Structure 1
Amino acid sequence: MTRFEAMGWAAYSGHRAEFPATENSVMDVFQFWDHSMPPKEILDAKQLWVSCAEEHVWYDDQSARDFIREGFGDAAAKAYSELWHPALKSDVFRLYRLAKCGGLYCDADSKPEYRIPEFLRCGGERVWASSMTNVPNCVVNNWFVAAPPCHPFIEAMLDQVLRNIHDIDSRGIFWLSGPGAFTTFLYQNIGKYDVGLLPQSCLKSELFRQFDADYKHTEQNWRVYEHKLGLDNDSGLTWALRNV
């Protein structure tokens, strides 16, 4: 894990960015929840995002599949429908949606902070994400990702995630499509793409904060799901460290 964390710090150091200052607006905010009727705490958080975005789009499993079919074809939609966990579907769908339309993706178990309106007014020119920089295990996160349409980094990241899923090799979701996959890919391509990484302290205090939703204590949480299957980090770490 220390070697993998070094990859995370290298990715962050190569893409560290200040708060956006251009005048290009983010197209919209979009979010995903696999069921059509989310719990109240998720709906309450959704309303906070709706209130601070000029346009907000909400997707469930069916509408996400329809979006992929319309934009990327039947085979892509079928492959999406065969994914085995809501977290994996969310990871894959956000990349399809960003690749096609751009926007700002935010996890449904989150609340906006006070600078979100400012970010939406001026963060539309490049890809934005964040890195965990105030805790061990520095990684590039994918729970808050903004991008303009058709950005080459998002398209390449989507291709990599789909390859990971095709060649699963006993890896968990963290390594297939989550922060482990993002960190490894960005480390392999430091400086190649216009990606700005904000530090976690900026994200949590100014833009986006997750909360401890009830679902995280059930198998809807990928960590709980994979723990019950006996999956650990070993296979994913082996895969990632091949790239060091």
Structure 2
Amino acid sequence: MTIEQISRTEQPADGEVADRALTIPRTLVRYWHDPQDIPEDVARCLASWAPLQDEGIAFRFFGDASARAYISERFDAPTLAAFERCHHPAMRSDFFRMCFVLAEGGLYVDADDVLLGSGWREVFEDHRLLVQPLAYDTSVNGMVQAEELRNADLPTHNRIFYVNNNPIASPPHHPVMQRALDRAMDRLLRRDSDLEIQSTTGPGNLTASLAAHARNLAIARKPADFLMLLNWHATAEPHWDLEYRNDDRNWRNIRPR
């Protein structure tokens, strides 16, 4: 299912309106594996989000130890065991964000994202799962410009369409987050599983979960309970010139297990 096809399910059919009882909690959650050792350049990225706190958004920050304690308190033993199988800080961050957003809802952003604009305000007025669509062009080995994703006639040849797992905004208990967590756990707890990060806990996992959910909604002729954030690039963007990206703290620099 393409982003275009998924987007067509976002409009309620026959005047139906999705349940708006649960809006997205006014919480910003972020993660760095060792909160006592945050690089200065990452700390500057984190500090760029201070305007949200000034406007009453609650900040939650987790590392490996606090994430382990949170999962142990809120979830069952297999969930904690799956977290322990995450072999890289990025993987543990992937896994934890699913747990937190499922349990409490809110807005998750990566620690190396920099705030640019005020579009985050609209997030906390919504009641759906909000995710950012992306596309990778294999012919040029680069990302498709975000503005192009609005084009209904966007060519699909040599392009991989997916949704990012950063940002994730959602009310608690969203079925896509439950599906994504269950899917990740299934792979993590199978000892013979290839624990490649992107497909196990990252964007690949979330994309597969969302696509399956969207298909079920379409078959049932139900309105979508998710929305593509086509303008998120104007709100925030990752900062790529960071020291940690040059070593094994960057998941792209390690081999799959």
**TM-score category (smaller protein):** 0.7 to 0.9
1:218 alignment partner in structure 2: 247
Determine the structure 2 residue equivalent to 1:32: 31
1:87 maps onto 2:63 in alignment: no
Residue 70 of structure 2 corresponds to 67
What is aligned with 1:237? none
| 1:192-231 correspondence to structure 2 within 5 Å | 192=217, 194-199=225-230, 202-205=231-234, 207-212=235-240, 213-226=242-255
Write the distance in 2 (CA, Å) between the matches of 1:63 and 1:216: 24
What SS does structure 2 have at the residue aligned with 1:156?
helix
Q: Which amino acid aligns with 1:127?
A: L
Q: Does 1:137 align with 2:137?
A: no
Output the CA distance in 2 between the equivalents of 1:196 and 1:102: 15
Unaligned runs of 5+ in 1: 1-6, 232-244
Question: How far apart are residue 149 of structure 1 and its match?
Answer: 1.1
* Alignment deviations for residues 41-99 of structure 1 (CA, whole Å, 9 cap, x no partner): 11112122233232111111111111101101344324313321111101110000011
Q: Which residue of 2 aligns with 1:170?
A: 194
Match of 2:175 among 141, 152, 157: 152
Pairs aligned (count): 214
Three-state SS of the structure 2 residue aligned to 1:220 is: coil
Q: More displaced, 76-85 or 213-222? A: 76-85
Asked if 1 retains the 8 angstrom alpha-carbon contact of 2:108 and 2:169, the reply is: yes
In the alignment, residue 88 of structure 1 is paired with which amino acid?
A: M
- For 1:9, the equivalent position in structure 2 comes to 3
Aligned to 1:51: 51
Q: Does 1:184 align with 2:208?
A: yes
The equivalent residue for 2:108 is 105
Q: Deviations over 1:138-185 (max 9, x none)?
A: 211101000111122211221111112234632511111111122222
Write the letter of the residue equivalent to 2:170: A
Instruction: Give the CA deviation at 1:221.
Output: 1.3
Amino acid across the alignment from 1:186:
L
- One-letter amino acid of the structure 2 residue matched with residue 27 of structure 1: R
In 2, the alpha carbon distance for the partners of 1:110 and 1:220 equals 16
Give, in whole Å, the separation in 2 of the partners of 1:188 and 1:170: 22
Looking at structure 1, the residues matched to 123 and 207 of structure 2 have their Cα atoms a distance apart, in angstroms, of: 25
TM-score (normalised: structure 1): 0.78
Deviation, 1:12, is: 4.3
| 1:10-66 C-alpha deviation (Å, 9 max, x unpaired) | 66435568xxxx894532000000012210111112122233232111111111111
Change (3 A) 1:182 1:208: same
Distance in 1 between residues matched to 2:121 and 2:98, nearest whole Å: 23
What is the aligned-residue identity percentage?
Answer: 24
TM-score (norm 2): 0.74
Max radius of gyration: which structure?
Answer: 2
Q: Distance in 2 between matches of 1:155 and 1:93?
A: 12
Aligned partner of residue 189 in structure 1, secondary structure: helix
Unmatched runs of 5 consecutive residues or more in structure 2:
12-19, 136-142, 145-158, 218-223
Structure-1 separation of matches of 2:71 and 2:193: 25
**Alpha-carbon distance in 1 for matches of 2:86, 2:206:** 19
- The separation in 2 between residues aligned to 1:42 and 1:107, in whole angstroms, is 10
